[in-house]
Amino acid sequence: MRLPMYLFIVLGLFAGPAVQAGEIDHSRSQADCENDFINSLKAEEILEGPEYEIFLEVVTVFKRDNPPRLYFSPGYGNAVYIARSVISDGRGKILIAEELKNLLGVSPALRAIFAHEMAHLVLDKGEAGCDSLMIRSIKVEEETDALAAHTIGFEPMRELFLKTESREWSKCPEIPIRLQTLNKLESEDKKLMRDLVYSLF
Ligand SMILES: [Zn+2]
C-alpha cells in the first residue's frame, strides 16, 4: 500500500512525522488528505477543557475570530499545523500529541506550543498543501518562533524549549540554535525599545 505524503509544518523539536514520505497522490483532495491524516493518528477533536481554554486565549491574541479546529492524538509525538488547512475551511487544523500535552501540562509552555502552531497558520500562504513535499527548514521555524514570541512573549517560548529539551524522545539538535536566535531577537528588541525611549526625551 502506498502511504500518502503530508506536509508537516511542525514545531521541529521532536521526532519526525509519523507517516513516511512517499509518492505524491494528486488524486486526493486537500480535505481527504486532512481527514486521512487525522484518522490515521486517531486524533480526537477537542472542544472543551482547560487546555482548550488556553488555546482559545491564544487564538484571541492572534486576532482570529474563527478558531482553528484542535485535535489531540495518542499516536503522534509532535505538534503540527496541517498545511493549507486554514485556506481550505477558513479555520485550519492543529494537532498536538497527547504525550506532548501531558509533558507541558497547563502551563505557559502549552500556550507557547499553541502560539507556535498558530504562527504557522497565520503565515500559511497556501504554497504547499497537505499532500505536498515535506518542507521544514530551521529558518521557517525561527520565523515562526519569532512571531509566536512577539505575540505571547519570549518567556513562554523559552519555557517550551527548556521543557521539551529535557526529554530524550524530543531531543533535536535544532533546539539550542532556535533558543539562541530567540534570545538574540529579544535583546535586539530591548535595544530598539531603549533607543525609542531615549529618542523621546
Ligand atoms: Zn514549527
The residues spanned by each domain of the chain are: 8-200
Q: How far is the CA of 77 from the centre of ligand 1 (A)?
A: 14
Section 179-201 average pLDDT = 84
From CA 45, how far away is CA 69, in angstroms rounded?
7
Residue 174, pLDDT score:
84
Q: Residue 96: which H helix or E strand, with range?
A: strand 93-97
**Per-residue model confidence (pLDDT) at position 42:** 93
Is the distance from CB of 102 to CB of 77 less than 8 angstroms? no
Q: Are 91 and 68 in contact (CB under 8 A)?
A: yes
Distance from the alpha carbon of residue 59 to the mean position of ligand 1, in angstroms: 16
Average pLDDT rounded to a whole number, residues 180-196: 87
What pLDDT is attached to residue 145?
A: 95
- Higher pLDDT, residue 3 or 52: 52
- Among candidate residues 88, 91, 95, the one with its CA nearest the CA of residue 126: 88
User: What global pTM score does this model have?
Assistant: 0.83
Question: Is residue 114 a contact partner of residue 94, using CB atoms and an 8 Å limit?
Answer: yes
Read off the pLDDT of residues 132-149 as tens digits, 9 standing for 90 and up: 755 568 899 999 999 999
Distance from the alpha carbon of residue 115 to the mean position of ligand 1, in angstroms: 10
Q: How far does residue 141's CA lie from ligand 1's centre (Å)?
A: 5
Condensed to tens digits (0 to 9), the pLDDT of residues 25-59 reads 555 789 999 999 999 999 999 999 999 999 999 99
pLDDT tier for residue 195 given thresholds of 50, 70 and 90? confident
d(CA 120, CA 118) in angstroms, rounded, equals 5
Sequence-ordered list of residues with C-beta below 8 angstroms from that of 29, at least 6 positions apart, any chain: none
